[in-house]
Amino acid sequence: MIELLILNLSARDTLDAGEIGELERVIKHERLVPTGVDMVREGSRPKESTLLLEGIAGRYRVLEDGKRQITALHVPGDFLDLHAFMLKTMDHGVIALSPCKVAAAEHKDLKQVTETCPHLTRMLWLSTVIDGAIHREWIVAMGRRSKKGHLAHLICELFTRLSVVGRVSDNSFHLPLSQAEVADTLGLSLVHLNKTLQKLRGDDVIRWVDRILTVLDWNELKRIAEFDDSYLNLIHEPR
């Protein structure tokens, strides 16, 4: 059940058997969440943190005028709201963007991990800090990249993150979002997202049909995005 989390963490540092056992002990209550359903509500005070096992989920906020901004996308093996363990109150919602399978770690158990397993604690801390690094990269993309570059960057990021957890084959991955949802993650209007998408398609760097995204020319896509994966911290070293 927690294989993908282990894959995710092991890409950054080695976990020993005791730590893996501890994770297995702490993570439980597997359940399914249908597309479109909120798994965590804004303003709530969850008593547990949620690990995504299958599917794509998004963190989002909606403003008074109804505009929505997705602030993070999550792939299998990601914690959706580990930060809530420290923050206590959710400052955003989390929605299932495809059918999702999730499991939960109770905060009282996580607290016990921080009391007894320093290295595992640091690895969990690391995963929230990588979230932060991704946030920063999104800020850079929103502020200073072209829209085409921003979209290309998002695709590069998802491609890379999904590769780590074995969800890419034949240069393709399942991208279940609608164009409206992608627009809400880039901060674009739906119409303009569509036109931006067509520019990328026109360059023959990607194909996206039936919710399957195929990268046709990785080097060119990377160049358009100015993508450098170092912010994802896919380096194995002692933490």
Partner DNA sequence: CGTAGGTTTGAGGTTGGTCAACAGGTGTGG
Partner DNA sequence: CCACACCTGTTGACCAACCTCAAACCTACG
Residues that bind DNA (CB under 7 A): 146-147, 178-180, 187-192, 194-198
Q: Which partner from the list its own copies, DNA, none does 234 bind, CB cut-off 5 to 8 Å by kind? A: none
- Nearest approach, Cβ of 112 to its own copies (angstroms)? 9
Task: Give pairs for 165-169: CB < 8 Å, separation 24+.
Answer: 165/4, 165/7, 165/8, 165/75, 165/76, 165/77, 166/7, 167/75, 167/76
Show the tokens assigned to 16: 């020993």
Residues 210-229, mask of contacts with its own copies (x by CB under 8 A): ----------------x---
- Nearest approach, Cβ of 194 to DNA (angstroms)? 4
Q: Which partner from the list its own copies, DNA, none does 72 bind, CB cut-off 5 to 8 Å by kind? A: its own copies
Using the minimum distance from each CB to DNA, give the nearer residue, 26 or 154: 154
Using the minimum distance from each CB to DNA, give the nearer residue, 89 or 189: 189
Which residue in this structure is represented by tokens 């080695």? 14
Using the minimum distance from each CB to its own copies, give the nearer residue, 186 or 197: 186
Q: Which residues contact 108 (CB under 8 A, 6 or more apart)?
A: 47
Q: Which residues contact 65 (CB under 8 A, 6 or more apart)?
A: none
